Each structure stands twice: as C-alpha cells, then as structure tokens.
Structure 1
Amino acid sequence: MSDLRSRMMELAISFLNAFNEFTTESVVRYRSESCMHRLLPKSLDAPPRTNSEYSAWVGNLKNVMSGFKLSFMDGYEPIIDDKSRHITLHLKSTCETVLGEYQNEYVWIMKVDETGQEIVDIMEFADSAYTIEWIQKLQNAIEKK
C-alpha cells in the first residue's frame, strides 16, 4: 500500500471519528480552510457550505438532534483512489431527534490534498426522499426552539 493511500485511509477513519463527536468544531476538523461541502442531489436544493457555514448548520441541528453517528454500511469499507486523491464512503446515520429516531443513508466523495491529510472538497449524496421528508420537520423544530 502506498504511503499516500495509507494516509488517506487514516484520514477517512479520523474524519469519521471526529464527525461522530458531532460538535461544530469536530465536523470540520480535517477539512482545509477552503473546503466546500455540497449536499446532493440537486433536488435537495441545499447550498454549498464553507466550513463556517457547515459548522453553523450543525450547531442548529444539535438543538433538535442528539447522538448523531455515522458508520459504514454493512459490508462496505472506504474506497481509496490515491491517483485522483478521492475517498468514497458508503455510510448510514442514526440519532435521536425531538421528532423521533432519524436514520439515513449516504455516499460521501471526498477529495484530499496532495499529502492525503486534509479534505479539500466533499460531495455528500443523501437519500433524497428521506431527507426531503425530514428536512422541513427539523427546520420547523429548530425554529420553535
């Protein structure tokens, strides 16, 4: 295994562990200053977010969600492409919300820097039907807080 590939695998695991702390700081811990996070597909009508915008968004979600955890889908491990410097993760989430249990499915495609130690871009594909169902409910709950 190449050194870059090893660093990218370590980054994938470290990123997931940090994300699962689910704080405004931890969710952006392994991102470059210029990293953009895009929630797709386009039908979700979510704007691309800078680190500060993503942190603020997570801060709002924390008002109505607790115990948010991402984990690998059963039978899937990170796909590491050290030539293009991409990491692909097939993930599931679970957490409790003020509205009940939330579970979703995702594919995250992350581009890393030349060293394999920072994420420079994230494309997050979510289960759009489930996300659309929940996004308005959660937004309403945030506004009531």
Structure 2
Amino acid sequence: MPSVAENQIRTAKDLFEGYNEYTADAVLRSRADNCVHYILPTSLNRPSKTNEEYREFFGPLQKVMHRFEVSLNLVNEIVNDPENHCAAVHASGIGESPVAEYKNEYAFFLEFNETGDKITKIEEFVDAAFSKNFLAKVLEWQAKQN
C-alpha cells in the first residue's frame, strides 16, 4: 500500500497532468468534492472557486486558450509534507491564444485529505502583472467576439 507521502506526490502530479490534458474533468479529478481553489495574491480580487465554480470558469477559458502546458520547475521537485498533509510546487504554464502568448509562473500550495489521494485546498499564486495584462486582452477580445 502506498504511503501518504507517495500518494501526495502522485496526486499533485496528477493535478498538473490534468491541466496538460486541458479538460475540466481532467483538471478536477484529483480534487476532493469539497476542494476550494484560491487565486492569489488577493490584490487580484479573484474569488475562490468550488469545483463546480471552477468547471464553469474553465469552459470559457478553453475557448480562449488553444493549447496549454504546465511544467514543474526546480527539476520537477514537489516540496512535500505528508505529516501536515500539504505540498508546495513551483510551476510554469505556457499556452496559445488569439490575444497573446500565455506565459505565466505559479506557486501552488496544496492541502490533501488524510490518505493524500485527493486535494482539499489549492492556493495558486500567479504572476500578478502578467495575469492582469492578459486578462485585459482576453476581455477586449471577448467583447469583439460578441
């Protein structure tokens, strides 16, 4: 039977593999039913999202981003703390969209259930300057599409 530490590493990697598959089901499969996703820093004023809210958010995003890939930084290292059921990951994301090239950097802080096979909380720090600029371009592009 895998240890909690092994489960947490596998679950964290599955989260990012889900983003690379780029479907809502894939992105959500490693999350517990009660998982809440926070986008930080708080200065971005992004609301937290339940799984259902994240699914609703992800649908329109797929129309703007045609290809998306996340890679783990620091030689794919995940800082894992199985005793406290949490992990930290430094990652980068690239993608293609009609508005601009997407290139963002993230720090993910993940909390897990007792067995480590589901994520119960995601705190995702993004590059605030890039995110604000990219979102403005997306909103402008979407307005022209309507």
Same fold per superposition (TM over 0.5): yes
Tell me the amino acid that sits aligned with residue 5 of structure 1. Answer: A
Q: Which structure 1 segments of 5+ residues have no match?
A: none
Name the CA distance, whole Å, in 1 between partners of 2:139 and 2:25.
22
Distance 1:21 1:76, change over 3 A: closer
- The residue aligned with 1:79 is 79
Name the CA distance, whole Å, in 2 between partners of 1:54 and 1:142.
19
Alignment of 1:9-28 (within 5 A): 9-28=9-28
Aligned-pair CA distance for 1:19 = 1.9
Does residue 110 of structure 1 match 2:110?
Answer: yes
Distance 1:90 1:103, change over 3 A: same
- Name the SS of the counterpart of 2:20 in structure 1: helix
Asked if the contact 1:24–1:55 (Cα under 8 Å) also holds between the matched residues in 2, the reply is: yes
Asked if the contact 2:86–2:110 (Cα under 8 Å) also holds between the matched residues in 1, the reply is: yes
Tell me the amino acid that sits aligned with residue 77 of structure 1. Answer: E
- Name the SS of the counterpart of 1:114 in structure 2: coil
Name the CA distance, whole Å, in 2 between partners of 1:21 and 1:62.
11
- Name the SS of the counterpart of 2:33 in structure 1: strand
Alignment of 1:1-145 (within 5 A): 3-145=3-145
Aligned-pair CA distance for 1:74 = 4.5
Aligned-pair CA distance for 1:66 = 1.1
**Which runs of at least 4 in structure 1 moved beyond 6 Å after TM superposition?**
none
How many residue pairs get matched?
Answer: 144
Distance 1:142 1:58, change over 3 A: farther
Name the CA distance, whole Å, in 2 between partners of 1:144 and 1:27.
29
Q: Which structure 2 segments of 5+ residues have no match?
A: none
Tell me the percent identity.
Answer: 31
Distance 1:84 1:45, change over 3 A: same
- Name the SS of the counterpart of 1:62 in structure 2: helix
- Please give the root-mean-square deviation of Cα atoms over the aligned residues, in Å: 1.4
Asked if the contact 2:100–2:134 (Cα under 8 Å) also holds between the matched residues in 1, the reply is: no
Name the CA distance, whole Å, in 2 between partners of 1:30 and 1:142.
30
Aligned-pair CA distance for 1:90 = 0.2
Asked if the contact 1:63–1:142 (Cα under 8 Å) also holds between the matched residues in 2, the reply is: no
The structure with the largest helix share of the pair is 2
